[in-house]
Structure 1
Amino acid sequence: MGRMALLGMSLVLGSTALLAQAASDDPLLKPIEPEFAQRWLTPQPATRIHGRTWLVGFGGLNVALIKTSAGLILIDGAVPQSVADLKANIRSAGFDIRDVRLILSTEPHYDHAGGLAALARDSGATVLASAPAVAVLRAGRSGADDPQMAWLPPLPSPARLRAVKDGETIRLGDTGVTAIATPGHTAGSMSWRWKSCEEGRCLPIVFASSLNPVAAPGYRFSDPAHAATVRSFRRSIARMKRLDCGILLSAHPDQSGGDAKLARFLQQPRPNPFVDARACRVYGERFEGLLDRKLAEETKASAADHDFQ
């Protein structure tokens, strides 16, 4: 290898090392649960799903991008260590992070909200979330009303936060996105709905928060102290089942079959496999069944413990 080639390689390696060092020194990019989170970060190409709606996230974490006449809207921000790849996906779609005006949050857990602070800083955008989620994002940590609180690490807090109400429509240019409260998985969980048009056909798109009844060890949904959380879950599930939903995108794509749909879409986009008027109902029914099973298992385990005593 010639001297110039060696010099070029040294410069590249040096630049890479400097970038890595800069990332490690940036508190907003400090990795959270890197080994565990890696399972969600399978690379995938930025993909236009319908009209001006894109997916720019990963195999296990959806991040949506909506192009409006007045800039971009992002939904969710994945984890801090994924921010550079997210911005690269946005660039590959032909956009710039500095054109993001709003970032909408589905839930204040690190896998969906860990990257919000860095993305908001780098874009100048405001992060919008439900009032309970804004409180968690400001504190950087979930409260006792979160079934997973005991095992959740802290996350960086975005500088610009604004609370939105259930049913409120957020407008940016020619696009309106409506907030749909879907608490349960977290007290502040919010789903988002907007209209997307393509070739004269307009469809309602829902980006759904998780409805998964998962909890840290020791937390029981069947505990009378948690009856309000179960009621929230049931209301959110019932609401999801009723939503007019031409396309469903879920925060974790595998929870709605979105991973399989994207694989088919990349092979054959027509007919669009994401278009499914039943998708929100099926999504709600799936987690209604999981919640029922969870409660039945807890009740059975409590009865067994009582019999043993």
Structure 2
Amino acid sequence: MGSISRFGNMNPPEEYMARPYLMDREPFPIADHLFFVGNLWCSSHLIDTGDGLILLDTPCACGLPGLIRNIGLLGYQVRDIKYIVVSHAHTDHYGAVAALQHMSGAKTFIGKIDAKDMRHPPEYLIRMGKNFGHYNEFFIPDVELEDGDEISLGDTRIRCVVTPGHTSGVMSHFWKTRAGGKLWNVGIYGGAGFLALSRENLKKNGQPLILREEFIRSIDKVWNEKVDIMLGNHPFHNDVYQKHQRVENGEKDAFIDPEEWHRYLGGLKQEYKDFLELSPEEVAGRFGKSRLLEYYGIP
């Protein structure tokens, strides 16, 4: 990956926002009942609980056709979705929730703190929704999660942990899943991008400066979580497509890596500390250009 920061500017370039289907790829299994159904930009994960599906995060509304296609390719239907769980209040994680809930009747979940932004959207989220394509909508959640709450369906129990910083109400999620006849611990860190935490961006978006400190505290809060299979709420956070290719090449346990959680959080913490030392001019120079296509080796 070279000098590309997986936590920096990884938004799609203009052509890909205008033609979002260019980011669509086929779905694949991560574990026995856990699947990746996202695209090159946004991660969405599907859990088959035995009593219906849980969907973790949606893409922007422009990515909905690809998401529906991927669910179908796995042999499921949209109406099989019972719960939609959103990690945090950014458009690239909830933009398609309202439409998907309309089609499926699913119950929706988001952290209580970020739920306030769904009910009373601040200007920066309205602006983000417009910048990230057409048809993005806010949604009114059925369940507002608090720190330590559990989401239960079928054989799945997801523990929700508040990890603020990326937004005020980011939720990270932890549960167990089966793969290869064994039970493994799954974890997904709810929000790792830090560009919005510059003093200039926080002021522009009307967000509190305390988020800069909470970002570090949240990493420390979940440091000791036991995670065997680390997911990312963007595919470049955990190199999910590369791992899938390794599986295709015969490395059946490519997604199982008990050391990745600490490598990921440690790298995030160091990159964030380095970011805080940069001047606005240095930030613009280092992160002004999207690196998404370069990360994937797309000309």
* Structure richer in helix, relative to its length: 1
Which of 126, 129, 134 pairs up with 1:153?
Answer: 129
**Could you tell me how far apart the structure 2 residues matched to 1:149 and 1:72 are?**
28
- What is the CA deviation profile of residues 171-224 of structure 1, one whole-angstrom value per residue up to 9, with x for unaligned ones? 1122111112121111121111110013431101112222121128862679xx
Please state whether the residue corresponding to 2:192 is helix, strand or coil.
Answer: coil
Structure 1 residues not aligned, in runs of 5+: 1-32, 302-309
Alignment of 1:215-254 (within 5 A): 215=196, 219=200, 226-254=208-236
**Aligned-residue offset at 1:137:** 2.1
Q: Choose 1 or 2 for highest CA Rg.
A: 1
**Aligned-residue offset at 1:59:** 1.9
Structure 1 counterpart of 2:237: 255
Structure 2 residues not aligned, in runs of 5+: 1-13, 131-135, 283-299
Please state whether the residue corresponding to 1:277 is helix, strand or coil.
Answer: coil
**Aligned-residue offset at 1:38:** 5.5
With 213-222 and 284-293 compared, the bigger mean Cα shift is at: 213-222
Please state whether the residue corresponding to 2:200 is helix, strand or coil.
Answer: coil
**Could you tell me how far apart the structure 2 residues matched to 1:107 and 1:40 are?**
24
Equivalences, count: 262
Which of 259, 266, 270 pairs up with 1:278?
Answer: 259
Q: TM-score, normalised by structure 2?
A: 0.78
Residues 88, 214 of structure 1: CA spacing in aligned structure 2 closer, same or farther, 3 A cutoff? same
- Is residue 111 of structure 2 the alignment partner of residue 135 of structure 1? no
**Could you tell me how far apart the structure 1 residues matched to 2:230 and 2:220 are?**
16
Structure 2 counterpart of 1:10: none
**Aligned-residue offset at 1:265:** 2.4
With 77-86 and 237-246 compared, the bigger mean Cα shift is at: 237-246
For 1:124, the aligned partner's letter is G
Which of 176, 187, 193 pairs up with 1:195?
Answer: 176
**Aligned-residue offset at 1:142:** 4.1
Which of 105, 127, 144 pairs up with 1:163?
Answer: 144
Query: Contact (CA 8 Å) 2:111, 2:169: kept in 1 or not?
Result: yes
Query: Contact (CA 8 Å) 2:78, 2:104: kept in 1 or not?
Result: yes
Alignment of 1:61-80 (within 5 A): 61-80=42-61
Query: Contact (CA 8 Å) 2:78, 2:103: kept in 1 or not?
Result: yes
Q: TM-score, normalised by structure 1?
A: 0.76
**Aligned-residue offset at 1:227:** 4.3
Structure 2 counterpart of 1:112: 93
Identity across aligned pairs (percent)?
25
Higher relative contact order (CA closer than 8 Å, sequence separation 6+) = 2
For 1:152, the aligned partner's letter is M
Cα RMSD, aligned residues only: 2.8
Residues 38, 132 of structure 1: CA spacing in aligned structure 2 closer, same or farther, 3 A cutoff? farther
Query: Contact (CA 8 Å) 1:220, 1:226: kept in 2 or not?
Result: no
**Could you tell me how far apart the structure 1 residues matched to 2:222 and 2:240 are?**
16
